[in-house]
């Protein structure tokens, strides 16, 4: 089976002669050994071995499809050797299989022919291919097929097979095209790549392809490939005399400095020459390793990184540029289309697809599958996915807590809100009756809470609005509007019109803010104990900047007189640029270095290392006060605190003007001016909307978006660069970090090319190897990669919200929802206990189960099982989700079970019940139970059985006698239940009848079916009636050994099989050990229940002592007469506590 590989944009597995990567040293001896390879995964393919004298082209193609197409060409070559790729001008240009999953035979034929033509047209082409791939010839991509590995052996085998095929089949092609020597091929390619360099596409050295045999010296190479592309574009932001890295050993000159290329070449060359390790340190730093404060600047699959490697080689430095991340997924297998789509559907919509949808995607290509996944992204389930995932990062749902309202102090800035509270206060001010205060508080709460909710959810709803309407994702920051509900709109006075829509949220522009013109614009009224609006304020057209100046975001990251918006700056960098400023540079703990009190954030290099990045963006928030309100100072001109404008002079004992503050200032003069990176905000009024645009145009915004949504898809944060090389898992963490960095870079580029469509990005993440990884063949995997991948793949703990959604989707049950409450326990009472978060005290989700969470999961399963079972069996079989193969009267070993209504009421006119049954041979139990006892003040419902007859095959009499007379026999053995006794039959003038007075009263007796065949049964009975129903008698025949072939056993096992598939996504056979274990649990619980029924404790509906189902109102819908409801409840509990149920 082949699997699509859409992981890291790896540099080609082998850059062949045509890429200019080889030298002119001729053919090197010592090829990897040719081995026989057998494909055990697909027995239908008759693969050849290399020792056959001659193989057919069909056999060679089969070998290519099974062993080479995906692991070598698709995984390692196609990113370069493809049209428009880095190696598009070479003789090795392959067809991608992206659009042909499930039917790639055409692509395989084409790509095999590429190898065939190369071997036939290039002298020693077979040797060259293998030498390049194994790293024995100079290769910019390094060694990508490790020596003595199965993958290299299989590649060598394939090349050998194709060479043999070419002896006869390629002769015509060779004669037409002519065979090139290795050096001729290289010469041709050098000319191609030089022309490309002149066109601005690649350099004369093959754009990082490792050709160090060139006429360029290191200085020229630096000017052409390193100066602007790397130093100016990536390094001078920090590595300058005034930058964050000014105290480092590498200081460069920016573009405006004359002769900066030569100066920067000298600086870099001199640094590299100091020690043998510095060259490698440079190469590691740019990949985000070795605690690089600037993070990842170049990914290992980029042209710039390979050019930097070549430059270091030109300086005579032997550096290790090969990343094991390129073979991260070697030996991996992946989820099928159907499995991927099913996982995606639940993740994105909290529901599972129908079988028809799964059938539709089964054989789709990856591009088709991606579009099908995009089509899932709609409806309420997807909306909640966006809200929940966004909040996991932004944490603005903190304001949904009962005791944290976002409307606090709103009455100081929004007159509509102030006036409404005044109206309520006026309504109750003269009321003296006892409940007046309570009614007033209730009315205030009923007004405040919806307004607070509208303000609190606005930033998350903005994200959802942008994504669901396929707008560029950048609009989450650049939107000149906010999102409002009817209630919040009444305060913000936006242009949103709810009169003709049933939508809960609409976009609108805030026009409700009125700033303080002077002290008495808003004033506290002592009599009413509220603020009142006096008029005369400054009406404001709010300068929206998407999320950034929503009240929920600003208050979630509040400021103080000393913090000065730095928290807002820090989290803006983190969320939208992927930069953790606190980790961007090493910070000293030396008390002496930190003792400086001369404005250290501006002057102390130990502080400015972070603050020169942090503070300009903090200044962009200059118009928003500590509580997030726009220009909230008296006069409405700025948000600077009075503690800055005026200082207390102890010498004269009074407050005086602060000389740092001048009238008209909107920002602190002792801080860096508002701006972003090296640019200054053009005006104070629009500084935040301006910076929002700058952020979305920054190249880091796209990669930060991938990181922002990574946990939503993969249930884990992006890997961090390891820092301590002596750590045991350093190498595996390094592999994981580099692989993810490469992948994120690739996805960021795709995201930009999609016009920043988030749906497209999410779908790309889902169809990737990172999401679809299923299993790993560790024998054929890189050990470090294998260890790294333990953190990747399909298993993830469900969040409380997802577990609640899963139970609802699969069973229809919502834990805790009733006529008395409308919130699921997992979303409220048990949210934190089950690893959730409240966005306040708890801000991270638990990703692994602890003991408390295990107890919550068990409680959820036990309490859910009873109503699930009752609800299911109170529907017709066709409408059920879980129990479509059984009824409540189907028991283990059951061969027959049915209920009869007894309508006769007199011993003179009794009812005859007759039926025939085809039975297996063996010991049987016949049971008769009265199942619907009822009584009132005037009557009592009871059943009386008078006569029993069983006639076997060939008219053999098994039993034929009066019912009570049978109790006197030694055989068959009859056992009476409680509430069962003899009764005098007045018509027969004898004690012939068995009387059944209570629910589940009756009897059972054992008898032997000596031969298999048709048995005839006859019962005579009558009843005393009461209530609306007729009395009911249940008659059942059961095999005492619970025979595997009996109707009841087969039905129960079939339904258990279905439950394993529905609840755990397991596909078990009826004879599998796991299914048998669940069946035995059913049998044991059922038998225990029957024992308790016989003892009169029929309402104890689960094995565990003290746990009862009778206190749940759902149980009133029926009694567990046969014991199966309890057994099924136990099975449901057991499966819902399984790892595969709580994980996905």
Alpha-carbon distance 174 to 339, whole Å? Answer: 46
Spacing of C-alpha 1102 from chain mean position: 35
Task: Give whole-number Cα distances, 732 to 71, 729, 796, in Å.
Answer: 21, 5, 21
Residue 693's CB is within 10 A of a number of other CB atoms, namely 15
Structure-block tokens of residue 1055: 């339904």
Alpha-carbon distance 698 to 481, whole Å? Answer: 22
Residue 793: what pLDDT? Answer: 64
Q: Which residues sit opposite 915 in a β-bridge?
A: 1017
Alpha-carbon distance 90 to 127, whole Å? Answer: 18
Residue 16's CB is within 10 A of a number of other CB atoms, namely 31
| Contact present, 847 and 797 (Cβ < 8 Å) | yes
Residue 208: what pLDDT? Answer: 40
Residue 1025: what pLDDT? Answer: 96
pTM, two decimal places: 0.74
pLDDT average per 10 residues of sequence, the chain (1144 residues): 30 32 33 35 48 70 87 80 70 66 65 84 78 65 70 84 71 43 43 39 39 61 89 87 82 88 91 88 87 84 84 85 70 91 95 95 95 97 97 96 86 96 94 87 94 97 98 98 97 96 96 91 93 94 97 96 95 95 72 72 76 93 96 95 91 90 94 92 95 96 97 92 83 87 93 97 96 82 74 81 95 88 92 95 93 96 90 89 92 88 95 92 90 93 96 93 86 80 94 92 89 94 96 91 86 97 95 96 90 64 42 50 86 96 92
Alpha-carbon distance 245 to 229, whole Å? Answer: 19
Residue 116: what pLDDT? Answer: 85
Structure-block tokens of residue 1021: 């009975």
Residues whose CB is less than 8 angstroms from the CB of residue 257 and which lie 6 or more positions away in sequence, other chains included: 263
Alpha-carbon distance 811 to 868, whole Å? Answer: 7
Q: What are φ and ψ of residue 630, in 5° steps?
A: -75, 125
Whose CA is closest to 338, among 353, 323, 348?
Answer: 353
Residue 671: what pLDDT? Answer: 94
Place of tokens 């790639």: 104
Residue 1069: what pLDDT? Answer: 96
Alpha-carbon distance 110 to 230, whole Å? Answer: 38
Domain boundaries, the chain: 17-198, 220-322, 332-376+698-791, 380-559, 561-697, 800-875, 894-1040
Whose CA is closest to 236, among 260, 254, 257, 262?
Answer: 254
The bridge status of strand 530-533 relative to strand 522-525 is antiparallel
Write out the CATH class of domain 894-1040: mainly beta
Residue 203: what pLDDT? Answer: 39
Residue 476: what pLDDT? Answer: 98
Alpha-carbon distance 103 to 65, whole Å? Answer: 11
């Amino acid at each position: 089976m082949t699997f699509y590989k859409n992981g890291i944009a790896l540099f080609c597995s082998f850059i062949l002669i045509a890429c200019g990567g080889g030298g002119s040293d001729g053919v090197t001896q010592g090829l990897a050994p040719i081995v026989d390879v057998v494909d055990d995964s697909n027995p239908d393919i008759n693969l050849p071995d290399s020792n056959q004298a001659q193989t057919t082209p069909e056999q060679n193609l089969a070998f290519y499809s099974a062993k080479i197409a995906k692991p070598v060409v698709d995984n390692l070559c196609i990113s370069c050797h493809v049209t428009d790729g880095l190696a598009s001008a070479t003789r090795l240009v392959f067809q991608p299989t992206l659009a042909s999953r499930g039917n790639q035979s055409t692509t395989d034929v084409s790509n095999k022919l590429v190898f065939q033509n190369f071997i036939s047209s290039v002298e020693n082409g077979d040797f060259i291919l293998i030498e390049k791939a194994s790293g024995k010839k100079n290769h910019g991509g390094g060694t990508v097929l490790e020596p003595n590995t199965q993958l290299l052996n299989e590649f060598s085998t394939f090349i050998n097979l194709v060479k043999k095929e070419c002896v006869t089949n390629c002769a015509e092609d060779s004669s037409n095209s002519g065979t090139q020597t290795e050096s001729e091929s290289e010469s041709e390619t050098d000319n191609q790549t030089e022309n490309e360099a002149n066109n601005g596409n690649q350099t004369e050295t093959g754009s990082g392809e490792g050709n160090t045999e060139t006429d360029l010296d290191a200085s020229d190479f630096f000017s052409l490939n390193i100066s602007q592309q790397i130093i100016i574009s990536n390094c001078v932001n920090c590595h300058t005399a005034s930058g964050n890295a000014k105290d480092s050993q590498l200081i460069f000159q920016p573009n405006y400095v004359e002769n900066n290329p030569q100066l920067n070449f000298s600086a870099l060359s001199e640094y590299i020459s100091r020690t043998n390790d510095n060259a490698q340190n440079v190469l590691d730093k740019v990949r985000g390793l070795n605690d690089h404060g600037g993070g990842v600047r170049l990914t290992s699959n980029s042209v710039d990184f390979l050019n930097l490697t070549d430059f270091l080689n030109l300086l005579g430095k032997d550096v290790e540029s090969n990343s094991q991340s390129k073979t991260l997924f070697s030996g991996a297998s992946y989820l099928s289309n159907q499995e991927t789509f099913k996982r995606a559907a639940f993740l994105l919509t909290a529901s599972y697809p129908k079988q028809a949808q799964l059938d539709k995607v089964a054989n789709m290509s990856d591009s088709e599958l991606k579009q099908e996944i995009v089509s899932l992204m709609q409806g309420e389930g997807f909306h909640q996915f966006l809200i929940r995932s966004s909040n996991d990062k932004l944490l603005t749902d903190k304001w949904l807590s009962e005791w944290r309202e976002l409307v606090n102090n709103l009455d100081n800035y929004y007159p509509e809100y102030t006036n409404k509270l005044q109206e309520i206060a006026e309504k109750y001010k003269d009321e003296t009756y006892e409940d007046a205060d309570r009614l007033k508080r209730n009315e205030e709460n009923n007004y405040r809470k919806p307004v607070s909710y509208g303000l609190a959810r606005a930033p998350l709803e903005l994200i959802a609005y942008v994504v669901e309407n396929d707008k560029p994702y950048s609009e989450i920051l650049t939107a000149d509007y906010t999102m409002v509900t009817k209630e919040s709109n009444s305060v913000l006075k936006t242009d949103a019109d709810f009169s003709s829509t049933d939508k809960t949220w609409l976009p609108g522009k805030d026009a409700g803010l009125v700033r303080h013109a002077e002290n008495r614009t808003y004033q506290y009224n002592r009599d009413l104990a509220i603020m009142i609006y006096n008029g005369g304020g400054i009406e404001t057209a709010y300068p929206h900047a998407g999320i950034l100046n929503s009240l929920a975001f600003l208050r979630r990251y509040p400021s103080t007189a000393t913090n000065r918006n730095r928290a807002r700056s820090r989290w803006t960098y983190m969320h939208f640029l992927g930069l953790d400023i606190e980790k961007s540079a090493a910070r000293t703990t030396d008390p002496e270095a930190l003792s400086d009190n001369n404005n250290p954030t501006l002057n102390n290099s130990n502080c400015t290392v972070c603050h020169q990045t942090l503070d300009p963006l903090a200044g962009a928030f200059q118009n928003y006060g500590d509580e997030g309100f726009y220009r909230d100072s008296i006069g409405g001109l700025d948000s600077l605190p009075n503690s800055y404008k005026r200082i207390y002079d102890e010498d004269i004992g009074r407050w005086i003007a602060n000389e740092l503050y001048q009238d008209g200032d909107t920002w602190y003069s002792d801080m860096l001016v508002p701006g972003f990176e090296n640019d200054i905000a053009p005006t104070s009024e629009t500084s935040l909307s301006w910076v929002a645009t700058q952020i979305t145009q920054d190249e880091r915004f796209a990669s930060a978006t991938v990181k922002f949504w990574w946990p939503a898809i993969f249930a884990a944060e992006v890997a961090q660069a390891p820092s301590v090389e002596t750590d045991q898992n350093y190498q595996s963490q390094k592999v994981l970090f580099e692989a993810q960095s490469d992948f994120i870079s690739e996805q960021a580029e795709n995201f930009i090319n999609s016009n920043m469509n988030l749906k497209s990005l999410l779908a790309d993440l889902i169809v990737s190897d990172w999401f679809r990884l299923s299993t790993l063949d560790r024998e054929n995997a890189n050990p470090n990669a294998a260890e790294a991948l333990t953190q990747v793949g399909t298993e993830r703990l469900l969040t409380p919200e997802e577990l609640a959604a899963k139970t609802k989707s699969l069973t229809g049950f919502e834990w805790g929802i009733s006529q008395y409450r409308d919130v699921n326990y997992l979303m409220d009472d048990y949210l934190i206990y089950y690893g959730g978060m409240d966005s306040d005290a708890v801000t991270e989700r638990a990703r692994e189960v602890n003991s408390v969470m295990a107890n919550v999961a068990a409680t959820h399963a036990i309490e859910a099982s009873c109503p699930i079972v009752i609800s299911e069996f109170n529907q017709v079989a066709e409408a059920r989700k879980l129990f479509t193969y059984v009824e409540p009267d189907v028991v283990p070993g059951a061969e027959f079970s049915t209920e009869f209504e007894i309508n006769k009421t007199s011993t003179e006119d009794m009812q005859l019940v007759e039926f025939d049954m085809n039975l297996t041979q063996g010991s049987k139990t016949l049971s008769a139970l009265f199942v619907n006892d009822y009584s009132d003040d005037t009557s009592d419902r009871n059943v009386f059985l008078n006569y029993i007859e069983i006639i076997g095959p060939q008219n053999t009499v098994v039993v034929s006698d009066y019912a009570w007379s049978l109790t006197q026999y030694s055989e068959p053995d009859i056992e009476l239940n409680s509430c069962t006794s003899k009764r005098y039959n007045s018509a027969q003038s004898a004690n012939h009848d068995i009387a059944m007075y209570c629910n589940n009263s009756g009897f059972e007796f054992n008898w032997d079916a000596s031969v298999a065949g048709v048995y005839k049964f006859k019962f005579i009975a009558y009843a005393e009636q009461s209530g609306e129903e007729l009395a009911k008698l249940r008659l059942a025949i059961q095999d005492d050994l619970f025979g595997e072939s009996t109707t009841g056993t087969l039905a129960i096992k079939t339904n258990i099989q279905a439950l394993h598939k529905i609840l755990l996504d397991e596909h078990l056979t009826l004879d599998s050990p796991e299914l048998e274990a669940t069946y035995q649990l059913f049998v044991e619980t059922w038998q225990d229940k029957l024992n308790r029924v016989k003892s009169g404790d029929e309402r104890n509906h689960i094995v565990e002592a003290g746990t009862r189902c009778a206190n749940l109102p759902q149980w009133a819908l029926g009694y567990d007469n046969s014991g199966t409801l309890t057994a099924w409840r136990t099975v449901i509990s057991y499966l819902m506590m399984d790892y595969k149920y709580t994980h996905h």
